Amino acid sequence: MVRTVKDPETRRAEIVETARKLFQSRTYDQTSMQDVMQECGIAKGTIYYYFKSKEELLDAVIDNMADEAISQMQNVLDNASGNALERLQLLIAAGRIADENPEVMDQLHNPRNAGMHAAMLAVAVKKIAPLYAEIIRQGNREGLFQVENPLETAEMILTTMQFLLDTGIYQWSPDDLMRRAIALPGLIETLVKAKPGSLSFLLEKGN
């Protein structure tokens, strides 16, 4: 039998994709590195060449999820028409990583993984902010927003949305979370100098 040799990039992507599927179907805790090895049909030395631990592999899965979400969001922006507010609603809907990856996100919400969770959110903010900045610039042109620093403003908004409302970072009670969620649209409207009520869809969408 001729042994199939895959280039490193292809092999690494295969391991990450396999791990992601197993984490979602079996849960992270019930999936071992051996499980991933068997599913991929690779040797122990191969998987540990790319990932020193299961935690490092989870980190790669998270990065893969974030890149996939960014690609989806960019595709939405490239094909969406309408004003800045309408495109913003579509952009937010396209970026729901947690909805499509419940098992992986449940693992991140484990208090033991707070550091990894925070790191993932930070990566998400950095990658997603330029897309939001594009929307803010459009809003400036349309007279819907008045923002001097679109990228920095987008980073501030996303940091608030990603961290402050994340129950995996802050153990808010339902009432605490609701109070902050209700306040969020008005705070962002003030920040971008938008018409009061124009961002109320943030609450309606559960953001």
**The predicted structure's pLDDT at residue 173:** 87
Whether residue 199 contacts residue 189, with contact meaning beta carbons closer than 8 Å, is answered with yes
The owner of tokens 């484990």 is 110
Confidence of residue 195 (pLDDT cuts 50, 70, 90): very high
Give the contacts of 183 (CB within 8 A, at least 6 positions apart): none
The Cα 144–Cα 136 span in angstroms is: 9
Q: In terms of residues, how long is the chain?
A: 207
The owner of tokens 């391991």 is 15
Provide mean pLDDT across the span 84-100: 77
Confidence of residue 168 (pLDDT cuts 50, 70, 90): low
Confidence of residue 166 (pLDDT cuts 50, 70, 90): confident
The Cα 32–Cα 22 span in angstroms is: 9
Looking at domain 1-52, its CATH architecture is: Orthogonal Bundle (1.10)
What value does the CA radius of gyration of the chain take, rounded to a whole number of Å? 20
186, pLDDT greater than 90 = yes
Please give the CATH superfamily to which domain 62-204 belongs.
Answer: Tetracycline Repressor, domain 2 (1.10.357.10)
pLDDT tens digits along 56-87: 998 888 888 878 888 888 888 899 889 999 99
**The predicted structure's pLDDT at residue 38:** 95
Confidence of residue 4 (pLDDT cuts 50, 70, 90): low
37, pLDDT greater than 70 = yes
The Cα 37–Cα 43 span in angstroms is: 6
Per-domain residue ranges for the chain? 1-52, 62-204
207, pLDDT greater than 50 = no
Least confident residue range of 9-18, 122-131, 164-173 = 164-173
Whether residue 152 contacts residue 110, with contact meaning beta carbons closer than 8 Å, is answered with no
